[in-house]
């Protein structure tokens, strides 16, 4: 008989799956976010663990309140729902026909990720925006990268922009005009790089 000395295999980490279920069944929620008459119940402990901004907000003055309701004005329900799902599961929903994966939606998510200091979500948004970079979008996405401190995305956009075949088209987009108006320093860098 051959001895079976293979190890016992341990399944992969399921902590995100577990927290995702907690979010779904809403049991034990102790805070609620209200956006456009839609309520998002959540657990302060999870939010605080994942976001230093939520931690400061929820364990500060509201700590004693039994079930605070927080009105949110600067975020859409769809963006908040996706961010909340990410906070609990460390993943974005799978991309399918029902999922809005437009550049605008990802930019909105990046704004929220920056607002709540969700660094890993910022990387994911940067990755998805980089997939969408074209001569039509590079101006807008570069402005977004600069605004929300996505250094790697910014560098890649600049490298893409200054290629002659891209540059000759990208400068005629509205996104480029908005970029140079808002960020003269980037305009200067593009100029310097194109002349090299």
SS3 95: coil
Who contacts 26 (Cβ-Cβ below 8 Å, separation ≥6)?
A: 41
- Residue length, the chain? 196
Instruction: Decide: is 94 part of the binding site for a second copy (CB under 8 A).
Output: no
State which of positions 131-190 bind a second copy (CB under 8 A).
Answer: 131, 152-153, 156, 159-160, 162-163
**Candidate ranges 1-9, 75-83, 108-116, 173-181; the one touching a second copy (CB under 8 A):** 1-9
User: How many helices (H) and strands (E) are present in the chain, helices listed first?
Assistant: 11, 3
Instruction: Decide: is 16 part of the binding site for a second copy (CB under 8 A).
Output: yes
Residue 48 or 111 having the CB closest to a second copy: 48
Instruction: Decide: is 192 part of the binding site for a second copy (CB under 8 A).
Output: no
DSSP 8-state symbol, 146? H
Cβ neighbours of 48 (radius 10 Å): 18
The Cα 97–Cα 16 span in angstroms is 24
Residue 36 or 119 having the CB closest to a second copy: 119
The Cα 124–Cα 152 span in angstroms is 12
Instruction: Decide: is 69 part of the binding site for a second copy (CB under 8 A).
Output: no
* Shortest distance (Å) from residue 135 CB to a second copy: 13
The Cα 136–Cα 176 span in angstroms is 9
Residues that bind a second copy (CB under 8 A): 1, 3-4, 7-11, 13-16, 18-19, 21-22, 27-30, 43-46, 48-50, 55, 58-59, 63, 89-90, 119-120, 123-124, 126-127, 130-131, 152-153, 156, 159-160, 162-163
């Amino acid at each position: 008989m051959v001895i079976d000395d293979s190890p016992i295999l341990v399944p992969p980490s399921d902590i995100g799956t577990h927290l995702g279920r907690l979010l779904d069944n809403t049991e034990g929620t102790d805070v609620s976010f209200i956006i456009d008459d839609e309520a998002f119940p959540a657990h302060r402990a999870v939010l605080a663990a994942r976001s230093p901004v939520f931690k400061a907000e929820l364990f500060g003055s509201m700590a004693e309140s039994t079930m605070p309701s927080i009105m949110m004005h600067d975020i859409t329900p769809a963006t908040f729902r996706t961010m909340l799902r990410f906070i609990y599961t460390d993943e974005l929903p799978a991309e399918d026909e029902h999922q809005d994966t437009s550049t605008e939606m990802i930019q909105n998510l990046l704004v929220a990720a920056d607002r709540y200091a969700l660094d890993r979500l910022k990387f994911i948004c940067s990755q998805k925006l980089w997939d969408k970079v074209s001569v039509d979008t590079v101006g807008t996405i570069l402005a977004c990268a600069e605004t929300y401190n996505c250094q790697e995305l910014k560098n890649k956009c600049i490298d893409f922009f200054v290629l002659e075949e891209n540059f000759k088209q990208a400068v005629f987009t509205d996104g480029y005009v908005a970029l140079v108006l808002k960020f003269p320093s980037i305009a200067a860098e593009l100029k310097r790089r194109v002349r090299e």
